Structure 1
Amino acid sequence: MSKYEYTILPEYSPLYPALPYHYEDYQKVSVYCRGDKEALQKFLPKEFKVTSDVFEVFVLTNIKIQGLDLYSEGGIVIPCQYKDMEGACVAFEYVDTDGALCAGREIWGYPKKLAEVQFEKDETSIKGVITRKGKKIIDVTFENDNSRIIEPPNLSPRLQVKRMPNPETYGTDTNFVIKNILQNVEVKKKVYGQATLYIEPSVDDPLNELGVKEILGAVYIEGAFTLTYGEIVENLNK
C-alpha cells in the first residue's frame, strides 16, 4: 500500500501526512474569562449546550512537531455538553499554515482559518497576537504572577461538529459529532499569571461579541501531546 493512500488530496502530493502527530514541544498562554452565557451559546454548534460562563482564550506556538510543519495558532474554547457528554468546543481557531488548517478541518472538523500569529516571550511576560484581515482579533499580554492561581473549567474531551457541504445541493453530506482526546499529555512547565486581553471588532471574526465580563487569570504552559484519530459520536444526517 502506498503511503499516499492514507491521505485525501492530492493523492500524488498530499498536503498533510497520516496520523498521529506528535507535538513534542509547545508553548501556550491560556487566558480564562467570564463571559455572557447567551453570547457563548450563540457561537457553539446548535447541537451543543454551553455549560459554563468561563471560557478559554489561547495563543500557542509549536517548537517541535513530528508529522506536521511547525505552526502557531490561537482561538476560543467554550465548555459545552452534547446530550449527556460534557467537554469543550473549539468555537474559533486560527492557524498560520495550510497543512494545519486543512488537517484540522478535514479530519476532526475544527473550524480553522488562516491568520497571522505572533508569539513573543521573555523572562517575565508573553505577547500573543492573532491578526486576520487587518484586525487584531486576539491580543493577549501575559505576566508571571504565581499568586493568581486559577482552576480552569473542564475543557476535555474536545467536542466538535464536522460539517462538509454537499456537492450536489445546498446542505451537508458529512455531519458528524466528533469526540477527540489528546493522548500522552505532558506538562513540562506551568506558570500562573495575570493577563490583559483586547479583541478588535471584526465582521468576519466577531470574537468581540463573546461578552467578556472579567479576566479571572491566566496560565503559561510548556508541554507535549499526541494528536490522533477521534471518535464519531453521532451521524447527524441519519
Structure 2
Amino acid sequence: MGFVKSFEEIMANTKEAREIYNAEMITVFWETTPEIISNLLPPPLKPATAPVAMAFVGDYPTTNFDVTYKESALFINAEYEGEEGYYCLSMPVTNDMAMAGGRERFGFPKKMAEIHFEKMDNRCLGWTERRGVRVMQINVTLTGSFSDSAVQDRLIKNRQEKDGSFQNIFYNFKHFPAPEGSAFDYDPRLVSQITVAKPKELQLGEGTITFNASNYDPWHEVEVVRMLGATYMEGDIAILNGKVAAETGFMDLLPFAFLKWDMK
C-alpha cells in the first residue's frame, strides 16, 4: 500500500455499500412551516406532502471502510419527480475520512464537529458543538409511542416486511468551486442516494430538539412548530451507491451552495 495503488488494491476497496455495524442512533421528527421548507429547497427539488424535518445523532463503532466516528444531521422533506426523500442541510462528523468520503462521493454537507451520544435506560441525549456553540441538542424519552400517532403509523408502514429494514432516499447537490475563482467547476449535480437501516432494536418515544443560533451552522432556521416523535435504533446501516439524478444551473444553486463551508 503506497501512493500509487495496484489494480488489485483498487478493486479490493470497491464496495456496493458502505456498511456500518452495531450503530446506535436517536432521531427526532418535527413539523416546521411550509414556507421554511420552500425557502430552503434548491431547484429542481420541491416540497413534499408534509413540512417535516428530521435530525439525528449516531454513534458508529464499526464499519467496512476502516473508519469509526459519530455523526449528526439535519434534513427536510423533499420531492424529486414524484419520489419523496430527505434533503440534507447539515451533517457534522467527528472523523476527517468520514467527512471527505460523504462530501466527495455523494455531496453530503459534512463538517468536523464535537458530537456526544448517550443512552441512559429509557432516556437518550445527543448534541453537536462547532466553534464553541452547541448548535443542537436532542433529548429523547422512550415512551413506546410517538406524540403524533399518524406519523408513527407512516413510519411503521415504511418498514419492510421481509427483514424489518427501513429505506430512505437522500438528496444532495454535488459541486466544487472552480480553481479559477468562479462559482463552480462543473454544472452542479443533484445526487439521489438510498440508505438502508436494519434495526436489531427499535424503540419509539417522544423528543425535543434545542437550537442555539450560529452564523456558521444555522440549524435554528428550521423552526419547530410541533414535535412529532422520536426513535432509538441499534443495528446496521448500509449506505448504498448513489446516482446523478439531474444537473442544475449555476445561478439556480448558487444561493444554496454554501452548506459545506463556514461563511459569515
Which TM-score tier does this pair reach, normalised by the shorter chain?
0.7 to 0.9
Map 1:187-202; keep pairs closer than 5 Å. 187-202=199-214
Which of 26, 29, 43 is the aligned partner of 2:26? 29
Per-residue CA deviations over 1:205-228 (Å, capped at 9, x if unaligned) read 111111111111111111212223
- Equivalents in 1 of 2:154, 2:179: separation in Å? 41
Query: Percent identity of the aligned residues?
Result: 25
Partner of 2:61, secondary structure, is strand
Whether the aligned pair in 2 keeps the contact of 1:21 and 1:68 (CA below 8 Å) is no
Worse-matched range after superposition: 171-180 or 42-51: 42-51
Which residue number in structure 1 is paired with residue 240 of structure 2? 228
Q: What is the rounded CA distance, in whole Å, between the counterparts of 2:145 and 2:216 in structure 1?
A: 37
CA contact (8 A) 2:57 2:73 kept: yes
Distance in structure 2 (CA, Å) of the matches to 1:133 and 1:22: 30
Compare the two structures and name the one with the higher strand fraction. Answer: 1
Structure 1 residues 66 and 160, CA gap change in structure 2 (3 angstroms): same
The TM-score with structure 2 as length reference comes to: 0.79
Gaps of 5+ in 1: 8-16
Q: Larger % of helix: which?
A: 2
Q: Secondary structure at the match of 2:108?
A: coil
Identify the residue that residue 141 of structure 2 maps to in structure 1: 143
Structure 2 distance, partners of 1:72, 1:159, is 21
The residue correspondences of 1:203-214 to structure 2 (distance < 5 A) are 203-214=215-226
Deviations, residues 72-94 of structure 1 (Å, cap 9, x unaligned): 11111111012333321112111
Q: Structure 2: any 5+ residue segments left out of the alignment? A: 159-166, 251-264
Aligned residue identity for 2:67: D
The residue identity in structure 1 corresponding to 2:68 is: L
Is 1:2 matched with 2:6?
yes
Counterpart in the other structure of 1:38: 35
Equivalence for 2:256: none
The corresponding residue for 1:118 is 116
Give 1:116 shift: 0.5
How many pairs were matched up? 228
Written as runs of structure 1 = structure 2, the 5 A alignment for 1:1-238 is 2=6, 6=10, 18-19=14-15, 20-51=17-48, 52-148=50-146, 150-151=152-153, 156-174=168-186, 175-183=188-196, 185-236=197-248
